Structure 1
Amino acid sequence: MSLTDAHRDFDKSKPVAETRPQGITIMATDITKQYGAVQALKGVSVDFHAGEVHGLVGENGAGKSTFLGILAGRVAPTSGSVTAFGKTILGGSPRESRAVGIVAIYQELTMIPARTACENVFLGQCPSSLGLVDYRGMRKRFLELCEKFDVRIAPDARTDGLPIADQQLLEIMRAYQSSAKAVLFDEPTASLGENERRKLLELINQMKAQGTTMAFVSHHLDEVLEVCERITVFRDGAVVASRPRSEWNKRQLVHEMLGNELDSTLQQRPAKPSRTPRELLKVRDLAVPGLLYPVSLTVRAGEVLGVAGLVGSGRTSLMRALAGLEPATGWVEIDGREQGAPRTPRASRAMGIALIPEDRKGQGLVLGRPSASNVILGDMPAVARLGIFQDRNILAAAKAAVAEYGFDPARLRTPARDLSGGNQQKLMLGRWHHARPRLLLADEPTRGIDIGAKTEILAALRKSALEDGLAVVIVSSELEELLVVSDRIIVMRDGHMVDERDCHNDQIDVKTLLHSAFAVQTGEHGAEQMQKES
């Protein structure tokens, strides 16, 4: 359960309304897609109805995104047919799909960084008068959309300076503005906080009532079960099951997605260490003006510290301050050597600190470079021979670094942009395994990846702590993940560290963390407060 999902317990927001489907609007029949020797889709047939949200789930690489790409015209099928609103779509032309009323909101944001928020919302649909762009009308409509969605984004703000969550909202506003007949959502809530998520679900409710056709792809299975009327499961490029929501539960979805039960490594909490290891990291009064107020904490060698809290609570500011990406004050001690908070990423790396950022594509990977090159970026001199880089040395070092993370070494020559989210995250893990830091910071390491890859990523982080003696700090919105992977958990709220729990010795569960995150009091008076807030 994530903090955003669980906030429904403290919120009076209405559930998405049930509606009766109004007939088939899109029908995909026997779709195949071949990429050389790889068959990405194998005879997929799925239909979509007006006024219905149809969930598509499956592991990364199962074929969901390829299928959405075909519906949106971004990908041409090798064979098969798609009929949308009475017209046949040939595929391979986004303009053709948009012309019949299909709009896609991709997990990979399609913002133009150097343009303003307003311009990005109206890309391809700018209002005009006498052949000239009506900037005044465009700005007025933008402000109307912001008011409708209760969004506070300045129309003239450059998009590359906005948080990921705000950019995601701009994508949604663009789709709404286009008056689409069908909207394809690909991980729409992955970067949203609770307020933004609630607005999106309210918007979905409105679009259902208007008869809009919707496809909804998400790795948050609780969310899929909440919002969708029908759910179709993809596995290895094929549809393996498709049933009404009432016939599914989470365990059944996982079983169909993986063909087996969830890995047992995530079914129980980590074992309590047999001895108390030394303190590897000590943080004293770490602060970032306006974002993070003096925080002091410790992390031991071989320990995983989880960080919980709402979006904007200071979780990411804490990680960025330790990584030298924020103008922080305070003191950081690693392996007994204390110095001021790092002012640059270079200074942080020199201290032995490494970061896996929340935005792995925008801040972590060089997407156009081969996977092997991305792995060695953490320590390039280790691969050079007399100042010269040779492919065989790069490949050998990268292969050794990613071997224990289940990454296929045959894909080390593949550009990072062509990998699934799970494999991209494994590259980041491999990079720091190659570089051997002392402290590893992982900010939302399982965001946007499938349930099988989540298991591997979290198990790999624990293994790095236990076997390599690292101190590992993990930020995650998924509270169950923190509970099963962490030795201790701290809770952030409004830039302050407000709680700390020992997962081995304290009574701790999801509700405990939620009470701290939402400032809900416990006991008799706490129950009274919860009732008032809900």
Structure 2
Amino acid sequence: MTANDGDASRSTKAISTRGLGKRFGKTQALSSIDLDIEAGTIHALVGENGAGKSTLLGILAGRIQQSEGSFSVFGESVSLGSPRAAQHAGIAAIYQELTIIDPLTAVANVFVSRPRSRAGVLDERAMRRRYEELSSQMGVSVPAGALARDLSVAQQQILEIMRALDSDARIIFFDEPTAPLGASERESLFALMRDLRAHGVTMVFVSHALDEVLNIADHVTVFRDGRQTASRPVAEWTKQTLVNEMLGRDVAAAAAEKVDAAAAADGGTSPAQPMRRSRSDKGIRVEGLKVGGSVEGIDFELRSGEILGIGGLVGAGRSSVLHALAGLDPRAVGRLWVDGKEVPWPRSVRRALGLGIALLPEDRKTQGLVLMLSAADNVVISDYRSISRRGIVTPRRIRDGATRVAAAYGFDPARLGEPARNLSGGNQQKLLLARWGHRPPRFLLADEPTRGIDVGAKSDILDTLRERAAAGAGVLVVSSELEEVAQTAGRVLVMSSGRIVDEFDIDRARNSEQDLVARILYSAFQVENTHV
């Protein structure tokens, strides 16, 4: 699959770092990293957002210059100053934000950095032949002439891997590769990674999905606060020990203490239970919602002061419901009541916001944040009018307005001046929550609010959603992490094949979390199987 020494390379170190460190101004992002990655293995890096994983990958991929220390690739000391230099050393990186060029064909995307030519003219026949060889080797089938924009995320990811293999990469970095993928697509990626490993390719895998890490990795290294705290074979880890190592404490014991303390303060009411308010006419009622051919016959209520979850399999139409309600889908038709009064269906984001409906989108980078703007701008962009004087907005007013809410959502006010694109996934999500803290909506639609976020940040974000509900907002949550739905929501709708197929009240059901997850999956699978 790629030119290497096969099994012989397994006895060598693909990458060795010694004393590797990186400072950004006064911030020490990475300190004294001594790490060995065996050739022909899958090595996972885990840790909270900001723990140093991405900084390490950036150094090894030539995007970031280290401040101290050294590293070698297959025993040879290297000093990489650019991604091109890393490529020459046999290193390729595939990031969560793919580098696919939408207007180009699949085959053109694979060879965009290494085109085949003859006498100065592109040799399309040679590129097509090589494309077919790579497809055969990888056991995949992506139409060579298809435009990249018409391909799924999983297919685009395959093109990135083909591009890496064509560059004779012996080491491939995967940074949160499964975050945008469905279950079947994830399994296909893992099958491909195992096949690459069997052919001697070394892979470094960064993921917040610890079950995936334990499933695919040979070795796991944990980072915390810019330091490497533990590195052991995967057989020596469990999910619980990984979480404890990442956070530096026994999470189960810490959670129990927090619950006991809060229960005592609240007269015996545990915050671990979903927060529910008394029922009233306040809220949203949806009837007969239809969105193209993906969603039909959707009826539900979202009451003020509750968290309503939507569970189900990927592709069930959950996000389509949220987008329609947020005014993002012009195909949506249906009837909508707000506080008992029927209103026209929102045909724009502006109209939805006018009704008090705001969306926390799944894709925070392309649908939520303005990446080139500062963190402060991204907070106050929801309502510049509130910080303006006579129609004028100054940088100081922007920062003051953002500072008032940022800390409340776990975002460090000292980082408000940084561009949003430089922030970790968890901090970007906290930024979006702070935006809707600056302009609090009556109804918050949270689409995969913890996707690609580390354990500690997940807990903070879920707590924020509970606090919103406690303050009287109606919160609608879609999550592929069904355990989170069971932990957070008071009621759950189950969707399958574009319809609501079940509904149950978690507050009233005295089931374990595992039983609730099983019921969600059972309802969804039951309908899916009738369509087979």
- What's the TM-score once normalised by structure 2's chain length? 0.89
RMSD: 2.5
Gaps of 5+ in 2: 1-6, 260-269
**Could you say which residue in structure 2 is the equivalent of 1:80?**
69
Q: Distance in 2 between matches of 1:277 and 1:325?
A: 28
**CA separation of 1:441/1:489 partners in 2, compared to 1, >3 Å: closer, same or farther?**
same
**Could you say which residue in structure 1 is the equivalent of 2:29?**
40
1:386 CA displacement: 0.4
1:169-193 CA distances to partner (integer Å, 9 max, x unpaired)? 4333433443421111111111111
Q: Distance in 1 between matches of 2:294 and 2:425?
A: 29
Q: Distance in 1 between matches of 2:92 and 2:16?
A: 16
**Could you say which residue in structure 2 is the equivalent of 1:350?**
354
What percentage of aligned pairs have identical amino acids?
47
Q: Distance in 2 between matches of 1:169 and 1:496?
A: 31
Q: Distance in 1 between matches of 2:44 and 2:353?
A: 42
Is 1:206 equivalent to 2:195 in the alignment? yes
**Could you say which residue in structure 1 is the equivalent of 2:492?**
489
**Larger displacement relative to structure 2 (150-159 or 77-86):** 150-159
1:167 CA displacement: 3.6
Is 1:103 equivalent to 2:92 in the alignment? yes
1:23 CA displacement: 2.6
Q: Distance in 2 between matches of 1:149 and 1:337?
A: 56
1:61-99 CA distances to partner (integer Å, 9 max, x unpaired)? 110001011111111111111111233221221111111
Q: Distance in 1 between matches of 2:373 and 2:507?
A: 42
Q: Which of 171, 174, 177 is residue 163 of structure 2 equivalent to?
A: 174
Q: Which of 373, 377, 381 is residue 381 of structure 2 equivalent to?
A: 377
Aligned runs of 1:5-16 on 2, under 5 Å? none
Q: Distance in 2 between matches of 1:257 and 1:277?
A: 43
1:48 CA displacement: 1.1
Is 1:275 equivalent to 2:278 in the alignment? yes
**Could you say which residue in structure 2 is the equivalent of 1:328?**
332
Partners of 1:83 and 1:89 within 8 A in 2:
yes
**CA separation of 1:152/1:503 partners in 2, compared to 1, >3 Å: closer, same or farther?**
farther
1:311 CA displacement: 2.1
**Could you say which residue in structure 2 is the equivalent of 1:443?**
447
Partners of 1:143 and 1:155 within 8 A in 2:
no
1:237 CA displacement: 0.8
Q: Give the number of aligned pairs.
A: 505
Q: Distance in 1 between matches of 2:238 and 2:457?
A: 20
- Secondary structure, aligned partner of 1:501: strand
**Could you say which residue in structure 1 is the equivalent of 2:58?**
69
Q: Distance in 2 between matches of 1:333 and 1:143?
A: 54
Is 1:89 equivalent to 2:92 in the alignment? no
- Secondary structure, aligned partner of 2:389: coil
Q: Distance in 1 between matches of 2:460 and 2:400?
A: 22
1:268 CA displacement: 7.7
Q: Distance in 2 between matches of 1:427 and 1:331?
A: 32
**CA separation of 1:490/1:179 partners in 2, compared to 1, >3 Å: closer, same or farther?**
farther
Partners of 2:15 and 2:38 within 8 A in 1:
yes
**Could you say which residue in structure 1 is the equivalent of 2:520?**
513
- Secondary structure, aligned partner of 1:241: strand
**Could you say which residue in structure 1 is the equivalent of 2:226?**
237
Aligned runs of 1:243-322 on 2, under 5 Å? 243-262=232-251, 264=255, 269-271=272-274, 273=276, 275-322=278-325
1:151 CA displacement: 5.3
**CA separation of 1:170/1:352 partners in 2, compared to 1, >3 Å: closer, same or farther?**
farther
Q: Distance in 2 between matches of 1:478 and 1:19?
A: 40
**CA separation of 1:411/1:386 partners in 2, compared to 1, >3 Å: closer, same or farther?**
same
Q: Which of 39, 46, 54 is residue 43 of structure 2 equivalent to?
A: 54
1:294 CA displacement: 1.9
- What's the TM-score once normalised by structure 1's chain length? 0.89
Partners of 2:275 and 2:469 within 8 A in 1:
no
Q: Distance in 1 between matches of 2:271 and 2:128?
A: 52
Aligned runs of 1:404-423 on 2, under 5 Å? 404-423=408-427
Q: Distance in 1 between matches of 2:134 and 2:413?
A: 47
Partners of 2:128 and 2:144 within 8 A in 1:
no
Partners of 2:178 and 2:186 within 8 A in 1:
yes
**CA separation of 1:71/1:486 partners in 2, compared to 1, >3 Å: closer, same or farther?**
same
Partners of 1:118 and 1:155 within 8 A in 2:
yes
Gaps of 5+ in 1: 1-17, 522-528
1:448-488 CA distances to partner (integer Å, 9 max, x unpaired)? 11110000011001101112x11111111111111111111
- Secondary structure, aligned partner of 2:390: coil
